[in-house]
Structure 1
């Protein structure tokens, strides 16, 4: 069985999607439709913009979504048996398995980006990567800090990202190193994604998600919140809403997909981040990019 996986924020790069736009008529049509929906020419920034311009919140998330989805939509051999996406990538996965239309998902991704930006401005906060420390130890250290600090991304064994207030992350990084972490370093992000500090964004996005049409999927999506397969529309909606304040269980999702029969993982989108993570989580499976 083939599992298709879709990357999240951080996978962007200058020039992303340009080749696709220039060499495929369907891709060009979808990119132009996206420009209309968003109300600005995101393609100009994706194809010609600088890394800094691509980092703008209103650009980053839609850009990665577009690159990922259009790549899948224009690949003739694209036939997923199961799908999953890392954080933002879950929206790409839901287009890939026909739960969401291209247009509706793009609107939600754009709203998500803006809502997260607002939440970041309300609560100055950050994230940090912790390397080579047991997950349970990381969880224990987070619980013992008097600030908001929580596990945010279970990326692969020995790589966990934590999220919280600036002060909380500072204290946590010191304690992680003392506990034997190889590295514990703050990340260049605008806020504490996948933590309780994203609650204002979750509330804002909840209304948009609940008023959007979700269709019966053609294959299961393994969602970040619980790492379990779902084809139930109401459950998918609620999990998507919870995702903003809950950790991304990527390690657990990949393990579950393998347990359920995935023998091949294909990453659709910019970069190769997920290919690297899948190799570390499940060494026996075939891994490639579209």
Structure 2
């Protein structure tokens, strides 16, 4: 069975999508439609912008979304998934590619999500940290016993977990992780505490936008970050997308469940190859490919 997976924030690079724009009339039309919806030429930044320009909040998430979705749409008949999943932001790309959400509505929601997350980041000093070489249970216990807000945010693969929360709490947790035997516990250069309770203001704003948006049943199940299980019901999909902002990304568990449900080939659609690497670490027997 064929699974298609879609990357999240951080996969962006200068020049992303330029080949699609230049070689496909459909891609060009969709990119120009995106420029009109966003009210600025995101294509100029994607194709020619600097790394710093690509990191701007209003740019990063829509850019990764556009690259992924437009790439999937240009595959035409060869895009025939039995299941899809996306890492954090990538869940929106997966939904649009699988027909659960229109291109225009998906882009508007991603743009709203990015701006809401930025506003939430500015309320309180917060950050994230990567923890390598420590059992998930130990990471969870340390987070639970550290003063302040710090929680597991991304279960990326066995032995690689990202934590998220108040800056001081994350730093204290990192010290405790090292003492507990982590190979590394490294604070990341991110704008704030994604997938933590500190994203609550953003969750409320995104919820209002999602409730006004029409969702359809996708052509195949989507394995959502919140549940790590196959979901096809539009109402459940909406609910999980809202919860996702303050809940951990269960990527390890999602891939494990997809394999259990019959996935043998994981094709990554979008910028970079991070998810292919994570899938191989989660299940070395799985076949991976770039879309």
Q: Shorter-chain TM-score category?
A: over 0.9
Q: How does 1:88-127 map to 2 (within 5 A)?
A: 88-127=89-128
Q: How does 1:1-290 map to 2 (within 5 A)?
A: 1-76=1-76, 77-290=78-291
Could you tell me how far apart the structure 2 residues matched to 1:185 and 1:132 are? 12
SS at match of 2:122: helix
Give the length in aligned residue pairs: 290
Deviations 1:163-197 (A, max 9, x none): 00010111011110000000000001000000000
SS at match of 2:276: helix
Could you tell me how far apart the structure 2 residues matched to 1:209 and 1:252 are? 25
Could you tell me how far apart the structure 2 residues matched to 1:5 and 1:123 are? 32
Deviations 1:41-61 (A, max 9, x none): 000000000000000011000
**What is the TM-score when the length of structure 2 is the normalising length?**
0.99
Deviation at 1:285, TM superposition (A): 1.3
SS at match of 1:207: helix
Deviation at 1:217, TM superposition (A): 1.3
Could you tell me how far apart the structure 2 residues matched to 1:94 and 1:199 are? 23
SS at match of 1:180: coil
Q: Please list every run of at least 4 consecutive aligned residues from structure 1 whose deviation after the TM superposition is greater than 4 angstroms.
A: none
Deviation at 1:216, TM superposition (A): 1.4
Could you tell me how far apart the structure 1 residues matched to 2:173 and 2:53 are? 31
**What is the TM-score when the length of structure 1 is the normalising length?**
0.99
Deviation at 1:79, TM superposition (A): 0.6
Could you tell me how far apart the structure 2 residues matched to 1:288 and 1:102 are? 24
Deviation at 1:123, TM superposition (A): 1.7
Could you tell me how far apart the structure 1 residues matched to 2:94 and 2:63 are? 15
Could you tell me how far apart the structure 1 residues matched to 2:88 and 2:49 are? 24
Deviation at 1:97, TM superposition (A): 1.2
Structure 1 portions without partners, runs of 5+: none
Could you tell me how far apart the structure 1 residues matched to 2:197 and 2:61 are? 20
SS at match of 2:275: helix
Structure 2 portions without partners, runs of 5+: none
Q: RMSD in angstroms over aligned alpha carbons?
A: 0.5
